[in-house]
Amino acid sequence: MSSRAPRKPTPVAIDAPAANDATEATTPDLGERRLYINRELSLLAFNTRVLDQALDERTPLLERLKFLLIFSRNMDEFFEIRVAGLKGQIALERELPGVDGMAPRQVLAEIGVIAHRQIERQYSILNERILPELATHGIRITRRDEWTQKQKQWVRHYFRAEVAPLVTPIGLDPTHPFPLLVNKSLNFIVQLDGVDAFGRDSGLAVVPAPRVLPRLIQMPPDVAGHGDCYVLLSSIIHAHAEELFPGMNVLGCYQFRLTRNADLALDPEDVEDLALALRGELYSRRFGDAVRLEVADNCPKNLSTYLLKQFGLAESELYEVNGPVNLARLFSIASKVNYPALQYPSFVPALPKLLKHAEDLFAVIAKRDVLLLHPYESFTPVVELLRQAAKDPQVLAIKQTLYRTGADSEIVDAMVDAARAGKEVTAVVELRARFDEESNLSLASRLQQAGAMVIYGVVGIKTHAKLMLIQRREGSELVRYAHMGTGNYHTGNARLYTDYSLLTSDEALCEDVHKLFSQLTGMGKALRMKKLLQAPFTLKKTLLELIGRETEHAAAGKPAQIIIKVNALTEPKVIRALYKASIAGVRIDLIVRGMCCLRPGVPGVSEHIRVRSVIGRFLEHSRAYWFANAGDPTLYLSSADLMERNLDRRVECAFPIEGRKLQQRIHAALQLYLEDNIGAADLQADGSYRPATCGPGEALHDAQQQLLMKLCDVHA
């Protein structure tokens, strides 16, 4: 383990903010920086809560391993994007403190303290809890000193047959400078003794692990012995490093991994062909500026210092780890299907009664709106509607936004079929969906080849709205059908993320969706919508008005309440509006999975605000805004989180849910999250989270499990 003992951050003491002067004693300054939590530190706190799930023994063992590995993936992205962005501000001397008042250098220092502690904790959980428990169930990752003679022979054969032919060891000397290494690739720094055939004796070499090889290899049953036995590629290379340097003495071989800036830098004003420019940027992403170095914790100090110097990193950016430097590669174990006792019970997503035997989805949707809550209710009706549209001779046109979908998805298959059938197919493909850019370029190319019209949205503004519009001739009329969702058109995510889908033929809503597509594909002034709220034009303005309306109700002595469920809350104007509502006495419940810059429970400011985060089997992804409105509730579902980027720099939409039955259904689900005392944690005024607890005599409430049992067929 690392010998570093990082300083624990001091909790922030929050008192009521000072008034500007005596005459304003009852009006606190809502712009005061102490009222806001730093967004990067808030995101880091969320990642820590994900790691906490690996310790929850109520969760099946392989699922606990998944949470630990998800923490790795999240931290990779955190360094690639968030830390890289802060370092970029410092390098360009553009250090702008956020609304919380923290300067980038201060935030980076705090991140370093927390990240070192949590990553060290992660490896402790893996080595002391998860791996020993897996071994008791016959699942083992064997270390080199544990290999039997038979296993050593198998590993030697595997190395010589599969690994050695692909490895390119690089000796370091004036003609072989330090190589340019790919972001997050597995590498080894090797210390050598001796003189090679050309008289070179630099003493150092780098061995990049071949990217085409799996990082985790399962031994054959006759070699493994009892249960499932795995070996790491890093262990195989380490055990046979001397074969890569014949005649030399290998004094040490130590794995390391470099994390680089992976954010894309495209200036819309300098881009003539976005797809072509993006392809170039995707290549450069692999070689961005260094932001973090991970090394094996037994790596000598002089070698880790040498590596830091090569990458231009400081000592504080070194992470010494007791195990594989890329834990996310262990997902192949966590996803195994032959250990049902160690995994969540399988389930079959439900179909609403009105859809169970419906052969014609258009006929059903023409009569009433259909609301689906994924993954508890199937995403299949959304895909099937598109399939029926592709085959239906009465359907003339299909328009759809695609953000994260996949080039080989059923959604894209249906759109390709529709285009080939001669229908007018328009796809608004957001090429800049982070880390899905390459997939989106592929699906755009596939759709174009089928004859679809592919649009890349609006220059400089991501298209994040989730919309589908189908135009169908029925008799002498053109009738529209629409799908609006809070999540992506990704069938895999629809089984892992919680999201809402609305299938509707409401004329006003469909007309609004048509107008939004017209704005995306054409040019002109913002069109007035009847029901749909859209960013960057009306969404934030209307949300502020709705919060203000509840504030007025409370001031007038009327019942007032707000429930908002989002992935993140960082927008300062929205936070200030919520503070004002709280001061007026509005009861506010915020269900915020990740970043939250609002501080609840501050005396005189946010005493009436509760913020909770729910982490469980499924990724909470749905967004809902509910306002009591003095007994006549207003409810919107949306693709938008309450962040500056979503409300000001993205194309987003929020669609109303009308009719008491559907409203009550969503409100009941929100209440389950507010009552959850299993996967929920409540945000405190100092920025920490306190797990929700079950009081004496109180029943256990798990929102996700309750929805599963209520809606799905669960197979224990």
Q: Looking at the annotation, which residues are catalytic?
A: 464
Pairing of strands 453-455, 424-429: parallel
Q: Return d(Cα 7, Cα 606) in angstroms, integer.
A: 30
Q: Can you read off the two tokens belonging to residue 343?
A: 């995994």
Does residue 590 contact residue 569 with C-beta atoms inside 8 Å?
yes
Question: What single-letter amino acid sits at 402?
Answer: L
Beta-carbon contacts of 265 under 8 Å, excluding residues fewer than 6 positions away, are 281
Q: Is 497 annotated as a binding residue?
A: yes
Pairing of strands 587-592, 609-614: parallel
Q: Is 74 annotated as a binding residue?
A: yes
Does residue 2 contact residue 120 with C-beta atoms inside 8 Å?
yes
Does residue 220 contact residue 154 with C-beta atoms inside 8 Å?
yes
Q: Is 158 annotated as a binding residue?
A: no
CA-closest candidate to residue 710, choices 657, 663, 659, 669: 669
Does residue 70 contact residue 594 with C-beta atoms inside 8 Å?
no
Q: Return d(Cα 508, Cα 401) in angstroms, integer.
A: 19
Report helix, strand or coil for 10.
coil
Does residue 483 contact residue 503 with C-beta atoms inside 8 Å?
yes
Does residue 465 contact residue 401 with C-beta atoms inside 8 Å?
yes
Q: Return d(Cα 483, Cα 500) in angstroms, integer.
A: 10
Does residue 438 contact residue 410 with C-beta atoms inside 8 Å?
no
CA-closest candidate to residue 402, choices 646, 639, 593: 639
Q: Return d(Cα 15, Cα 11) in angstroms, integer.
A: 13
Report helix, strand or coil for 11.
coil
Does residue 394 contact residue 367 with C-beta atoms inside 8 Å?
no
Q: Is 404 annotated as a binding residue?
A: yes
Strand runs (DSSP E) across 12-151, as ranges? 139-141
For tokens 């405190």, the residue is 684
What does the angle CA 507 – CA 511 – CA 513 come to, to the nearest 5 degrees?
Answer: 120
Report the chain's terminal Cα–Cα distance, integer Å: 39
Strands of the sheet with 228-232, listed across from one edge: 139-141, 228-232, 216-218
- Binding residues for ATP, by number, are 74, 497, 593, 621
- Binding residues for Mg(2+), by number, are 404, 434
- Binding residues, by number, are 74, 404, 434, 497, 593, 621
